[in-house]
A and B are shown apart, each in its own frame.
Chain A
Amino acid sequence: MANWVLKGLRAGIKTSGYRSAAEAAPGLSPGQPRGTVLPSQDAAALVERCPSGAIVSCEGGVAIDQRRCVDCFRCCADVDEPAVPWRDGYEWAAYAGDAAAMRRKLDRAFGHSLHIRFLDAGACGACMSEARQLDNPYYNMHNLGFFMTPTPRNADVLLVAGPVSDAMRLSLRKTYEAMPTPKRVVAIGACAASGGVFGPSFAAGGGVGEVIPVDVVVPGCPPPPLAILHGLMVVVGRKPPSELISRPANVEANPE
């Protein structure tokens, strides 16, 4: 056993600097498309090319509905012009509803530690893998006061991935109802936000919001661990939220 202690000590501290400082190790995040100014002809071509309806035309160019983007890279890779620019980063989590109301709601009750219950509502495995990484030494969520809890009775936050398959709808509702108030729901991934590539259909719904009220959405297919961490920080008010729709104007006003 002493060998393991030694091994752990020798490996050193690996925890990411993402608390106050930004973290920029390569491979942390695939990035995210952003709205951009484009001639209307190019905008129409891009809207046509997007298979998930994430690119919508707007005044002056295209906007991105981040809830629908499934990271297929067809708007930027392996094609000739025009293209949508992708931004690096991972601070993507946003309020699911009206910002002012959400801020009022979230400002109360939770300021520090959170106990989290995870629920798989038909996720493909990638979102779950990313959520699982929060426990690894790099992301070390315990260090931030975030803990997984084995029972919904102790949970403050329900972290949900997946479009909500028919067979999981009841489990999702019952888990939510078993949680004491106040409670928060964080939907992670394109499926949980909008049904993704699967729903709505006969077998799966169009996202978690159709079944229980969602507070914070973390877009991405899958969202990288730091984006999920950002979502949890938004719940406790330690980080400001991002926007669900990226418009060309937003880009000008707010480069990150």
Chain B
Amino acid sequence: MTLSTIAESRSTNFAELCENRWKGRVTAKLDAAACHVACAPPDLPAICEWLSEEMGYAFATLIVEEESKPGWLLTYVFYKDAAAPWVYVELRLDARVATVPSISGLANGPAADWHEREAEDLFGLSFAGHPRLGEFVLHEDWPEGVAPMRHSFDARRMLDIPEAPNPAWDPPTIFSAPGSFAMPVGPVYSDFGEAAHFLLETVGEDVVRTIQRFFYKYRGVEKIAEGRPIDSVLLLAERFSGIAAFAHGLAFCQAVEAICGVEVPPRAQALRGIFAELERLRHHAATITGICNSTALVVATAQAALIEEDLIRLSCQVTRHRYLFGAVAPGGVTCDLTDTHRQHLLTEVGDIARRSDELHRMLRYSSSFLDRLEEVGIVSPDAAIAYGLVGPIARASGAMRDMRKIRPYAAYGTVDFAVPVEQEGDGYARLRVFFAEIEQSAAMLHQILTALPAGDIRARDIVVRPGAALAAVEAPSGAAFHWVRLRDDGAVARYRITPPSFTNWHGFHIATENFAFQDFPIILASFGLSNAECDR
């Protein structure tokens, strides 16, 4: 039996298993992408609980679609590992039904918490049983009752948003003990911090509760993508998060390729792997720079920053752009590697791996540095699972989740690499994961570059057809899920992006609570997340 037939037989079993377990209450159907489980709203929480508790599935994303024939389609996406099929729990609702049971209260439900809040805010759907709905993506100045993701809302419409501070705004706090106070951080920072607001509640030394407020940078990417042609949406996919431009551009292209049945040539697949790993190297180097900077270790910051800038320049030399904009396109990539480039990359990446290793070795013996990271900012393995965390943050807390292994794409099916996992979940574990991933990426680049297949770099004559598909890509900070639905005329009908920063920021407050006030900037740096990516 080949691998694919094994997977197929397991998947068939899964559809049967599901129908047997939920006799008469669900219809399970299997296709190439996933096992579609259609159910009625009252059964939804039980099915989701069964998937995450008994079957070991992780929640990926909630996709809300307003159908052209009045009504809603809600798709709850779950994934597990390379052998198990993905599961889409589908809920079709009448247009008049605006309430859905919440799944956030389940044991592993917190993963869906922000998804439900977002859907409530942007679509006007209500989630019964959710503890905290209301202002989330759209801040308090946004007019009540206007749901911008509804088809009836015109994306070009300018709303009359008051420009004066709102005197009524009073952030919710839980403490009223004498001496307690709430310390606001952001949204404007003293250096190059990204816009976000943290309210740190404290009674003295330790942060007791962190209230996070994001979406200062909400640019409505999912909304403005609607009705645009693929080419134009690709620009948005690459630019909503410039530091992970290639990963998100690639995810969008993979979704389009899945819909249109495009076969990507082997050389293009290999080049995609090269560019994606270059991006990961640069992202991790930037995160390490940030961690060193947050502990005021000046020489280490400078050395890490040199590695980062060298990687940016390297990206520019091979793809023309310092952040790999424009390198990916549906069907393949837009720039080929010459033999000179290939040789140059091999030498430079080897050199960078060596320098990163040396930096890591020196950091490991700097006790003043380690004191700030060890046993600080802990995310326990249980919390990482419950919040559905992804990427290096999850892997530093013992949760081995990597889309390159779970659903191999680009060159990842053919190269040999390990996914570093640590158990402690503190700042130091995260730092070790970042360094270990640099080592793995460099080794992976060496493998791909020495066995680069010849041939085309892009499939031509793509026939665009209507349909929908989900692509999953391991962006530098974790799993990115892109859902694309194309209309009959080839324009994008719905574009749903679940970036890793959205998933991981949700769990960030756990790492800060019960740690000292002055650890906050270091914990923040050790997450290495992007607000632009989260806010979209």
Residues of A within 8 A of B (CB): 1, 3-5, 7-8, 11, 14, 25-31, 51-52, 70-74, 77-78, 118-133, 135-138, 148-151, 162-163, 165-171, 173-175, 196-204, 221-222, 224
Give the residue of B302, B316, B323, B530 whose beta carbon is less than 8 angstroms from that of A136: B302
Q: Which residues of A contact B322 (CB under 8 A)?
A: 27, 29-30, 126, 130, 222, 224
- Let me know if A204 and B362 touch, CB within 8 A: no
Give the residue of B191, B231, B245, B458 whose beta carbon is less than 8 angstroms from that of A118: B191
What is the bound-complex CA distance between A167 and B217, given in angstroms? 7
Q: Which residues of B contact A118 (CB under 8 A)?
A: 189, 191-192
Q: Which residues of B contact A175 (CB under 8 A)?
A: 188
Q: Which residues of B contact A122 (CB under 8 A)?
A: 195, 216-219, 532
- Let me know if A165 and B362 touch, CB within 8 A: no
- Let me know if A4 and B243 touch, CB within 8 A: no
Pick the 4 closest A-B CB pairs, nearest first.
Answer: A126-B242, A27-B313, A150-B190, A203-B220
- Known pairs A8-B298, A30-B322, A166-B159 / 4 extra A-B pairs, C-beta < 8 Å: A120-B195, A122-B219, A138-B306, A203-B219
Provided the pairs A128-B194, A129-B243, A197-B236 are in contact, do residues A202 and B159 lie with their beta carbons within 8 angstroms?
A: yes
Q: How far is the CB of A245 from chain B (nearest CB, A)?
A: 22
Residues of B within 8 A of A (CB): 139, 141-142, 148, 153-159, 161, 163-165, 187-195, 215-221, 223-224, 231-232, 235-236, 239-245, 286, 297-300, 302-303, 305-306, 308-309, 312-317, 320-323, 325-326, 329, 334-335, 362, 365-366, 368, 458, 530, 532-533, 535
Considering the complex, give the chain B residue whose CB is closest to the CB of A149: B190
What is the bound-complex CA distance between A26 and B216, given in angstroms? 36
- Let me know if B242 and A129 touch, CB within 8 A: yes
- Let me know if A4 and B300 touch, CB within 8 A: yes
Q: How far is the CB of A149 from chain B (nearest CB, A)?
A: 8
Q: Which residues of B contact A74 (CB under 8 A)?
A: 326
Provided the pairs A126-B245, A136-B309, A202-B157 are in contact, do residues A51 and B316 lie with their beta carbons within 8 angstroms?
A: no
- Let me know if B219 and A163 touch, CB within 8 A: yes
Q: Is the interface of A mostly helix, strand, loop or mixed?
A: loop
- Let me know if A169 and B163 touch, CB within 8 A: yes
- Let me know if B305 and A136 touch, CB within 8 A: yes
- Let me know if B219 and A165 touch, CB within 8 A: yes
Q: Which residues of B contact A14 (CB under 8 A)?
A: 306
Q: Which residues of B contact A224 (CB under 8 A)?
A: 322
Sample 12 A-B pairs with CB under 8 A, ordered by A number: A8-B299, A26-B317, A27-B313, A30-B322, A121-B195, A125-B194, A133-B309, A150-B191, A163-B219, A165-B535, A167-B217, A202-B157
Considering the complex, give the chain A residue whose CB is closest to the CB of B148: A202
Provided the pairs A137-B302, A202-B155 are in contact, do residues A3 and B316 lie with their beta carbons within 8 angstroms?
A: no
Q: Which residues of A contact B142 (CB under 8 A)?
A: 166
Q: Which residues of A contact B220 (CB under 8 A)?
A: 198, 201-204
Q: Which residues of B contact A121 (CB under 8 A)?
A: 195
- Let me know if A71 and B223 touch, CB within 8 A: no
Provided the pairs A27-B314, A27-B316, A30-B321 are in contact, do residues A77 and B362 lie with their beta carbons within 8 angstroms?
A: no
Considering the complex, give the chain A residue whose CB is closest to the CB of B140: A167
Considering the complex, give the chain A residue whose CB is closest to the CB of B315: A27
What is the bound-complex CA distance between A167 and B163, given in angstroms? 10
What is the bound-complex CA distance between A4 and B236, given in angstroms? 42
Q: How far is the CB of A59 from chain B (nearest CB, A)?
A: 29
What is the bound-complex CA distance between A11 and B303, given in angstroms? 8
- Let me know if A131 and B235 touch, CB within 8 A: no
What is the bound-complex CA distance between A163 and B141, given in angstroms? 19
Q: Which residues of A contact B139 (CB under 8 A)?
A: 166-167
Give the residue of A77, A78, A167 whose beta carbon is less than 8 angstroms from that of B216: A167
- Let me know if A119 and B317 touch, CB within 8 A: no
Q: Which residues of B contact A163 (CB under 8 A)?
A: 219
Considering the complex, give the chain A residue whose CB is closest to the CB of B314: A27
- Let me know if A168 and B326 touch, CB within 8 A: no
What is the bound-complex CA distance between A121 and B216, given in angstroms? 8
Considering the complex, give the chain B residue whose CB is closest to the CB of A200: B158
Residue of B155, B161, B216, B458 with most chain A CB atoms under a 10 A cut-off: B216
Considering the complex, give the chain A residue whose CB is closest to the CB of B323: A126
Provided the pairs A5-B299, A167-B216 are in contact, do residues A136 and B306 lie with their beta carbons within 8 angstroms?
A: yes
Q: How far is the CB of B455 from chain A (nearest CB, A)?
A: 16
Considering the complex, give the chain A residue whose CB is closest to the CB of B359: A7
Considering the complex, give the chain A residue whose CB is closest to the CB of B235: A197
- Let me know if B217 and A120 touch, CB within 8 A: yes
Provided the pairs A122-B216, A135-B305, A168-B187 are in contact, do residues A127 and B242 lie with their beta carbons within 8 angstroms?
A: yes
- Let me know if A129 and B323 touch, CB within 8 A: yes
Considering the complex, give the chain A residue whose CB is closest to the CB of B245: A126
- Let me know if B302 and A8 touch, CB within 8 A: yes
What is the bound-complex CA distance between A221 and B326, given in angstroms? 11
- Let me know if B217 and A78 touch, CB within 8 A: no
What is the bound-complex CA distance between A119 and B219, given in angstroms? 16
Give the residue of B221, B244, B315 whose beta carbon is less than 8 angstroms from that of A198: B221
Considering the complex, give the chain A residue whose CB is closest to the CB of B368: A1
Q: Which residues of B contact A52 (CB under 8 A)?
A: 235
Q: Which residues of B contact A149 (CB under 8 A)?
A: 190
Considering the complex, give the chain B residue whose CB is closest to the CB of A220: B322
Q: Which residues of A contact B194 (CB under 8 A)?
A: 120, 123, 125, 128
Q: How far is the CB of B237 from chain A (nearest CB, A)?
A: 10
Q: How far is the CB of B311 from chain A (nearest CB, A)?
A: 10
Q: Which residues of B contact A197 (CB under 8 A)?
A: 235-236, 239
Give the residue of B190, B192, B219, B334 whose beta carbon is less than 8 angstroms from that of A132: B192
Q: How far is the CB of A72 from chain B (nearest CB, A)?
A: 5
What is the bound-complex CA distance between A8 and B359, given in angstroms? 11
Q: How far is the CB of A190 from chain B (nearest CB, A)?
A: 9
Give the residue of B161, B239, B366 whose beta carbon is less than 8 angstroms from that of A221: B239
Considering the complex, give the chain B residue whose CB is closest to the CB of A118: B192
- Let me know if A202 and B326 touch, CB within 8 A: no
Q: Which residues of A contact B458 (CB under 8 A)?
A: 78
Considering the complex, give the chain B residue whose CB is closest to the CB of A148: B191
Provided the pairs A129-B286, A165-B216 are in contact, do residues A151 and B321 lie with their beta carbons within 8 angstroms?
A: no
Q: How far is the CB of B324 from chain A (nearest CB, A)?
A: 10
Q: Which residues of B contact A222 (CB under 8 A)?
A: 242, 322-323
Provided the pairs A71-B326, A166-B161 are in contact, do residues A131 and B299 lie with their beta carbons within 8 angstroms?
A: no
- Let me know if A4 and B216 touch, CB within 8 A: no
Q: How far is the CB of B141 from chain A (nearest CB, A)?
A: 8
Q: How far is the CB of B264 from chain A (nearest CB, A)?
A: 15
- Let me know if B309 and A30 touch, CB within 8 A: no
Give the residue of A5, A77, A167 whose beta carbon is less than 8 angstroms from that of B218: A167
Residue of B142, B195, B308 with most chain A CB atoms under a 10 A cut-off: B195
What is the bound-complex CA distance between A132 and B322, given in angstroms? 14
